[in-house]
Structure 1
């Protein structure tokens, strides 16, 4: 069968507040649960997007096998198979399950356990029926433990939009963030090294997809990347996590921009505006991190570090705000429900084969970068900044749509193209850092501190301009992988 659910993460204080308020019009059913997750020593199931667990509630044990798409953000639609079992040993006599697991079934062993106190309600939200489960407990893997506090909203009947309406009701009572980690993923993360910054990875796409489906897959992956880095930031003021959180927002904004022709939906512009607000709030802290890396004077470094503390405090305030939480819920709903597909405006474009749509986008951006970089050294700072933005969109588009071009020849061309484009983008980024440093230092009241001028020297600019011109020439000469 298929399940559709929305997962939200809560603090323990928020969970306590939710239980006290209890907005679900009924007393919950309360039970203790223990779940044992199985895999091979090499985590073969996890690598294939599968999970196998046996969950005990009271005297009953249920075995569940799940397969998911691995890129959803908050809202998951996936296949699952359940059956009762007598003990904590997996039963794999179903031919479909055996085919799914393959040879791994002979090497399965317990990997980690999850212990929770579950509060469960059956809720009527409009015409929909939703099962609500609040889990508070811990994940146990070898000698490690991690707290777990989350709420799952699973649609039993009716419109999936009801999940998000109920999520907003929960968030008004107890601050809740869109969850992107399954319980299985939490266990695997606990087994590995401490989680830090998460970079974007290739997104599974297929050539039989249309433009709208590709957009939804990429958008969900961007949202997931943001939330994973936001989680890392909640544990420490990690500069790499902040950078990757900002990158994920920029990627999502770029995706909205290059796919603008697909939509005639008022929510599109609202969401894009909110993404711009959040990315801007993260930008100040990132700019200070960049200047700290380049500072050579101890006094300037110390003053920048003090400014960094204030900037990260502002980031934390933004990320924990009701506005940011609402944005993530709105995005997850808009991406996962995809009711914009029913709009007749732009339908032909949305149904266009993904490779055709991608080629059009990539051609348009390539021409802008090729033309805009002519006589690059003679451009003013603002024009070079505009070129940098277009180059960044082209790079993101090439990364987004790259999985649609998977022949050996296309893969080789794609790698060479991205190397050349990244070289150009890096030089343009460094030039932009030089151009924006004076205003940033003035804003921080650090313009007169010793070493400040070293952050935007004319000699550095001259070298970077020459390198950028050479990089642009190399980029123009590289063959386009989509043609």
Structure 2
């Protein structure tokens, strides 16, 4: 599923200065908007309790993590690893509440599951939101992200060597595509019960998609077809992930929900739906 490397109209229309820019010099132009967006979404979470606010924050942090991965060969290895771990930690903090939102939505939209569960789920979700907000507030997201941007920019701007931006991003996109292909092959051979292999495809697909979205103006060729395939993967495997994560969340919190509804019926439905979604994901893999 490797993207085309032929020079098309998009490459011909590229600004000369952009094509000749070094990867080191271009880093801040990619990172700064992502940092600003993540800070903005982190602030919104403290004012807006909606599922959408949390989702935007988690996505912005995932995009930052992918960008730091892209520039990994040019950054000090230890610092880059720590920074990506930080983004993952912050995304997980937001994700704990987001996971409850997904579970609530799935149960609310299913007539087979007793609606008595919903009020108790909302209460637990409220507690999770308070914890997410506290974690993000204590972390000092704005300072952490601005310091990360400043440190990485300084490191790259003082580097002795310079790598042409186009050459660099072509190599990094190709590396992400190879990783995705490897994970697709592994998942295709895995047993249906091996959800981790399917989840790895989803994560690798997201990384390729983010990199193509970051660097599309610089890359040669047209990547619309590749992006379309990646969106199919993300949709199919994202639905599977929602089912698996919700089932696990419900199973891990059965005691909290005792007496609020028929959790056994809900778990039976999730188990059945997980198997159906696994078959659908495996079917898509055979077509890739």
- With the length of structure 1 as denominator, give the TM-score of the two structures: 0.49
Q: CA deviation at 1:308?
A: 1.1
1:414 to 2:188 alignment: no
CA change 1:455–1:255 in 2 (3 A) is farther
Consecutive unaligned residues of structure 2, counting only runs of 5 or more, are 1-14
2:40 counterpart residue number: 228
**Equivalent residue of 2:80, what SS?**
helix
Describe the superposition over 1:134-178 as per-residue Cα deviations: whole angstroms up to 9, x where unpaired: xxxxxxxxxxxxxxxxxxxxxxxxxxxxxxxxxxxxxxxxxxxxx
Residues 237 and 378 (structure 1), Cα distance of their counterparts in 2 relative to 1, 3 Å cut: same
Name which of 244, 250, 259 aligns with 1:441: 250
1:373-422 deviation line (CA, Å, top 9, x unaligned)? 2326735111112222111111111111112248xxx4xx4222212111
Q: CA deviation at 1:309?
A: 0.5
Structure 1 gaps, min length 5: 1-203, 477-483
What is the distance in 1 between the residues matched to 2:285 and 2:25? 33
Is 2:82 the counterpart of 1:270? yes
**Is 1:394 matched with 2:208?**
yes
- Quote the Cα distance in structure 1 between the aligned partners of 2:99 and 2:257: 15
| Alignment partner of 2:25 out of 202, 210, 213 | 213
Q: How does 1:31-430 map to 2 (within 5 A)?
A: 206-264=18-76, 266-295=78-107, 296=110, 297-335=114-152, 337-344=153-160, 347=161, 351-374=162-185, 375=188, 378=191, 380-405=194-219, 410=221, 413-430=222-239
Check 1:472–1:397 CA distance in 2 against 1; reply closer, same or farther (3 A cut).
farther
Would the alpha carbon gap of residues 357 and 470 (structure 1) be closer, same or farther in structure 2, given more than 3 Å must change? Answer: farther
Counterpart of 1:188 in structure 2 is none
Structure 1 pair 377–273 and aligned structure 2 pair: CA distance change class (3 A): closer
How far apart, CA to CA, are the structure 2 residues paired with 1:454 and 1:225? Answer: 40
Q: May I ask how many residue pairs the two structures share in their alignment?
A: 260
Residues 58-80 of structure 1 show CA distances to partners (whole Å, capped at 9, x for unaligned) of: xxxxxxxxxxxxxxxxxxxxxxx
Shift of 1:372: 2.2
Q: 2 CA distance for matches of 1:430 and 1:273? A: 25
Q: 1:352 to 1:265 in 2, by over 3 A?
A: same
1:431 is matched with which residue: 235, 240, 247? 240
Contact 1:377 1:469 in 2 (8 A): no
1:233 and 1:241 in contact (8 A); partners too = yes
Larger strand fraction of residues: 1
Q: Please identify the structure whose Cα radius of gyration is greater.
A: 1
**Residues 402 and 293 (structure 1 numbering): CA distance in 2 closer, same or farther, change over 3 Å?**
same
Superposition misfits of 4+ residues, deviation over 6 angstroms: none
In structure 2, do the counterparts of structure 1 residues 394 and 403 end up closer, same or farther at CA, with 3 Å as the change threshold? same
Higher relative contact order (CA 8 A, sep 6+): 2
SS at match of 1:298: coil
* Counterparts of 1:269 and 1:424, CA distance in 2: 27
Question: Measured at CA, do residues 265 and 340 of structure 1 come closer, stay the same or move farther in structure 2, by a change above 3 Å?
Answer: farther
Give the TM-score normalised by the residue count of structure 2: 0.79
Equivalent position SS for 1:314: helix
Among 453, 457, 464, the alignment partner of 2:271 is: 457
The Cα of 1:431 is off from its aligned counterpart by: 1.8
Aligned-residue RMSD, C-alpha = 2.7
Distance in structure 2 (CA, Å) of the matches to 1:309 and 1:447: 14
More helix per residue: 1 or 2? 2
Does the CA contact (< 8 Å) of 1:294 and 1:455 recur in 2?
Answer: no
Q: Distance in 1 between matches of 2:29 and 2:223?
A: 20
